[in-house]
Amino acid sequence: MSEENIISVHNLSKVFGDFTAVNTISFDVKKGEIFGFLGANGAGKTTAMKMLIGISKPSSGDAIVAGFDVKTQSEMVKKSIGYMSQKFSMYDDLTIKENITFFGGIYGLSKVQIKEKTKKLIEELQLEAVASKLVGSLPLGWKQKLAFSVALLHEPKIVFLDEPTGGVDPITRRQFWEMIYAEAHKGTTLFVTTHYMDEAEYCDRVSIMVEGKIEALDTPKNLKKQYNVDSMNAVFLKLARNIE
Amino acid sequence: MSIQVQNISKSYQNNLAVNALTFEVKEGELFGLIGPDGAGKTTLFRILTTLLLANEGTATVAGFDVVKDYKSIRSVVGYMPGKFSLYQDLTIEENLNFFATIFGTKLEENYDLIKDIYVQIEPFKKRRAGKLSGGMKQKLALCCALIHKPKVLFLDEPTTGVDPVSRKEFWEMLKRLQQKGITILVSTPYMDEAALCDRIALIQKGSILKIDTPDQIIQNYDKTIYDVQSKNTHQLLHDLKNYPTQYSVFAFGEFIHYIDKNEAFNSDELENYLKEKGHQELVIKKSKTTIEDVFMDLTNLKQ
Amino acid sequence: MKRFIGFVTKEFYHIFRDKRSMFILFGMPIAQIMLFGFAITNEINNVNIAILDQSKDNETHKIINKISASPYFHIEQEINSEAQIESIFKKGKVKAVLVFQNNFIKDLQTKKQAKVQIITDATDPNIANTITNYINAILQNYLLENNAINQPNYQIQTQTQLYYNPELKSVFTFVPGVMTVILMLVSAMMTSISITREKELGTMEILLVSPLNPLQVILGKVFPYIFLSVINAIVIVTLGVFVFGMPVQGSLFLLALESILFIITALSLGILISTVSNSQQTAMMLSLMGLMLPVIILSGFIFPISSMPLPLQIISNIIPAKWFIIIIKAIMLKGATIQIIWKETLILIGMTLFFIGLSIKKYKIRLE
């Protein structure tokens, strides 16, 4: 982890009609950091994330992602990041190889590169036996691991992971996090949302959003100290109670 | 017995979703089915709520057979499916009234039962369900499932995707309902919720790994788990996995849970090994076993 | 009964709160009627024609006056030779040329038969056809008048049969057509969508795990649409009659009964579609491809069945809409009674019973 900021958000807001989904949030994410982005449903996490990945225009404020302004250079932002979500990750009716080729193609990889990467990726995930099977037939855990690798195909500087481990069994969840660690180790920045509070502990720093605002942002250790509790779950509960 | 499941199997095409399950739920019990997506929880719920026919085996709910007496079951059980299943374009009040009429009752009739929950959403009763927050939707869905005072309540992953605060409130509500004599079968992928049930079945890939009270399951676990922590978690995971006598290594919140193969394991040796590897701020201590540890160990053994 | 009313009330909430379905229900019938009535019309008005009168006698003058007095034609010019015909067509000034042969009056009086040639610009075949029919009609009219007054022994040579629509008013075909399409759309598509929506939302699971029996669910789903379809039928007939002058020769009561029968046919089709589809999208596609297209193309609404190739003519028999169009045309235009249309009515009843039977057989009391 270096001191260089790869995401820099300043007073970012998003307003839908008379509803403020994201209310002047500001934070920085450092290069190579695993940044946990937590909050209840409807707290504005997804809206904020959409602005950062360049698919939703901010109502006001600024955000620089990988050196590009999300307002004016959203195409460049999209090129420098990877994205994976629980809801959509890959095409169920394409095989593993076809999915990799397709996503490699849309990120502008050459044929040779795609071929090399496909081989490497399938080896790493030990998917040789099922490489020609439809993604839809894979267990959820495998699918998510594969989707994560695919999001990394074009070697993005930042990867956004939207609830990547929802519903996944405990062992696969941990294997997934080991992949995240390994990627962070290579210098990639990981921006992660999750509902599992134990996973919040795995992050270098965590922000907690409540009703459109970031109410807490620090390392898990400091947050626990600050709220004088022993788990992130308790931090979350205390924080919500304070707001109410 | 409120629910009796005998050797129930169900497959889709060639996929065995539920594999010869057998268990019982006592009257007034809060019984949890704990397992990840794809464990077969929803399939089992649908068989018990008469929505699906099993390929093999028999089951009764509140004394009725799930195949023959499906009509009787349908009027005595309450069911909350996994997806949020209320009419988004109807208000809270309209949803409740609708479900009351189709069950041939009125909101007032069993008001006692839902009062605690209803008062929390009552201020918004003119608001459409689609405009409610996740926690409120969930409360409304629970009210609707309770409106006819069911004998048995089926809740399929009621807390999935819900924030910790709402989850906590939800479990408190379930505890109160249980005191009113309702049998509750609930499923969840969150292992930490297991401790809140009277008894649980750990379920993975259609099979039950273990059935017991959460305390018994933890007490009967014979391995010793150590919490290990250092400044560099990623490196620590790597080094622990390379330790010759390691049995399992899993990240677990702020610690890593380490289990050794040897019963005569000495943590000092491990500490020395890790210090040699250059770990700083090293912590090694005995850990408290959780349901998740047991679950991981059981699934690991199976593979 | 209370359950049923509760269910129907809920359905009405859904319908009235969804702008899209409100538009399909009420905007569409009116928009379609207006479109067909005003825009897509086969009628002609003030069409420019030319006359080549090689006889120049009293009778040809009478006929020419009659034509120019009609609102449909404007006599752009009189030409003198056949050679001019092509050039004026090319200039696009006129759509038709009416040619009277030499000795028109003489032929009429001696041979009791005279020749008139209608040359039309057939680049637009529909208009050409209509023009020919209109001129024919005027000629017939002239002959009829003449025979009645002076020369009862003149014989009518060209027999154009335009009994029920002497002015070839297209309103007479499109009102029944639009009514059929709308009733099909509202009844079949809207019910199938509303049933599959419950499946998609997951609320069907809760409805199934309730004391409601499946028949009650279906009836509750269908009832609001019977009601709304009847309103639609009334709106369409009223617009047809008062805005476009469509006659209703037969019994209104019979018309209403037959319409309700067709609505039920369409609803049973809608239920059938919903039993085989699991998403609103599938239901919509099935309704559009499986129902709307055949209704529009094969029912005789737009393309006459008699001019279709034989296989299509045979297929058209299984389209309920075909029979309904025959029935309402007969009632509205010919004043037919049940004695005349009982056969078609029986066919519709048969089809309806078949669809209902099939949907009951296909309806699942469980999820699969």
Q: What is the per-residue pLDDT across A54-65, written as a single tens digit (0 to 9) for each?
A: 989 999 999 999
pLDDT of residue B232: 85
Task: Name chain C's partners: 3 or more CB pairs within 8 A.
Answer: B
Percent of chain A with pLDDT over 70: 97
pLDDT band of residue A2 (cuts 50, 70, 90) is low
Q: What pLDDT is attached to residue C160? A: 36
Q: Which of A72-81, C23-32, C39-48, C201-210 comes out lowest in average pLDDT? A: C39-48
Give per-residue pLDDT as tens, A115-147: 999 999 999 888 888 888 888 888 888 888 899
DSSP class of C307: G
Q: Which of B219, B242, B260 lies at the terminal end of a domain, its last residue?
A: B219
Q: Examine the pLDDT at C108 and tell me if it is beyond 80.
A: no
Q: Is the pTM of this model over 0.95?
A: no
Chains contacting A (3 or more CB pairs within 8 Å) = B
Residue-by-residue DSSP string for A111-161 = HHHHHHHHHHHHHHTT-GGGTTSBGGGS-HHHHHHHHHHHHTTT--SEEEE
Question: Which of C206, C218, C278, C364 to probe by mutation at the B interface, max B CB count within 10 Å?
Answer: C206
Q: Give Rg (Cα) of chain B.
A: 23
Q: What pLDDT is attached to residue C82? A: 80
The predicted pLDDT at position C71 comes to 81
Residue B116 sits in the same domain as residue B194? yes
- Our CA-based measurement puts residue B120 at a distance from the nearest CA of chain C, in whole angstroms, of 23
Domain-embedded: residue B177:
yes
Res C150: pLDDT: 57
Instruction: Provide the H-helix boundaries in chain A.
Output: 45-52, 74-80, 96-106, 111-124, 140-151, 170-185, 197-200, 220-227, 232-243
**A68-69 and A60-65: which strand pairing?**
antiparallel
pLDDT one-digit tens code per residue, B18-32? 999 999 999 999 999
Cβ distance of A39 and B253 shorter than 8 Å: no
Per the structure, the count of domains in chain B is: 2
Are residues B240 and B211 located together in one domain of the fold? no
Q: Rounded mean pLDDT of A223-227?
A: 93
A140, A163, A201: residue with CB nearest B254 = A201
Chain B contact for C13 (CB, 8 A cutoff): yes
Helix (H, G, I), strand (E, B) or coil at A218: strand
| C-alpha atoms less than 13 angstroms from C-alpha of B238 in its C-beta half-sphere | 11
Encode pLDDT of C327-340 as tens digits: 998 898 888 888 88
d(CA B196, CA B83): 22
pLDDT tens figures, C199-250: 888 888 888 888 888 778 888 888 999 998 999 889 888 888 888 778 888 8
List chain A residues with CB under 8 Å of B294.
Answer: none
Mean pLDDT of C160-179: 59
What's the confidence (pLDDT) of residue C121?
Answer: 75
- At C154 the pLDDT is 52
Report the CATH number that the domain containing residue B93 is assigned in CATH: 3.40.50.300
Contact of chains C and B by CB distance (3 or more pairs under 8 angstroms): yes
pLDDT at B291: 95
Residue B67 placed within a domain: yes
What distance in Å separates the CA atoms of residue A5 and residue C23, rounded to the nearest whole number? 52
Nearest residue in chain B measured CA to CA from C199 = B85
Pair B249, B157 in one domain: no
Q: Which residue has the higher pLDDT, C177 or A26?
A: A26
Q: Are residues B196 and B49 in the same domain?
A: yes
* Residue B206 near chain C (CB below 8 Å): no
Average pLDDT, integer, range C68-73? 84
Say which of B163, B168, B233 has its CB closest to residue A181. Answer: B233
In this predicted model, what pLDDT tens digit does every residue of A145-166 receive, in sequence order?
899 999 999 899 999 999 898 8
CB contact under 8 Å between C6 and B102, yes or no, is yes
Mean pLDDT of chain A: 89
Q: Does residue B181 lie in a domain region? A: yes
- 8 Å CB contact of C14 and B89: yes
* Dist CA B158 CA B81 (whole Å): 8
Q: Is B32 helix (H, G, I), strand (E, B) or coil?
A: strand
> Of B171, B197, B219, which closes a domain?
B219
The predicted model gives A206-219 an average pLDDT of 92
B207 touches A: beta carbon within 8 Å: no
Are residues B230 and B213 both part of a single domain? no
Would the pLDDT of A228 be above 90? Answer: yes
**Domain chopping of chain C, boundaries:** 2-40+170-362, 47-149
- % of residues, chain C, pLDDT over 90: 14
Spelled out in words, what is the top-level CATH class assigned to the domain C47-149?
A: alpha beta
Report the residue of B138, B231, B234 to disrupt the A interface, i.e. the one with the largest count of A CBs within 10 Å: B234
Q: Are residues B61 and B190 in the same domain?
A: yes
Tell me, yes or no, whether B266 and B210 share the same domain: no
Whether residues B245 and B187 share a domain: the answer is no
B158 interface with A at CB cutoff 8 Å = no
* Segment among B76-80, C115-119, C157-161, C170-174 with least mean pLDDT: C157-161
Q: What distance in Å separates residue B55's CA from the closest CA in chain A?
A: 22
For residue B99, name the pLDDT band (cuts at 50, 70, 90): very high
- Provide the residue type at A194 as one letter: T
Q: Note the pLDDT of residue C157.
A: 47
Residue B68 belongs to a domain: yes
Range A5-243: architecture per CATH? 3-Layer(aba) Sandwich (3.40)
Residues B67 and B116 in one domain: yes
The boundaries of the domain holding residue B109 are 3-219
What value does the mean pLDDT take over residues B156-167? 84
**Tell me: the pLDDT tens digits for A11-45?**
999 999 888 999 999 999 999 999 999 987 778 88
Q: Are residues B166 and B33 in the same domain?
A: yes
Name the closest residue on chain A to residue B34, using Cα atoms.
A169
Contact B259/B248 with Cβ under 8 angstroms? yes
Domain edges within chain A: 5-243
What are the phi and psi torsion angles at A68 (to 5°)?
A: -120, 145
3-state secondary structure B126-147: CCEHHHCCHHHHHHHHHHHHHC
Same domain, B57 and B132: yes
Residue A73, token pair as written in the block: 């250079």
Which of C110 and B122 is assigned the larger pLDDT? B122
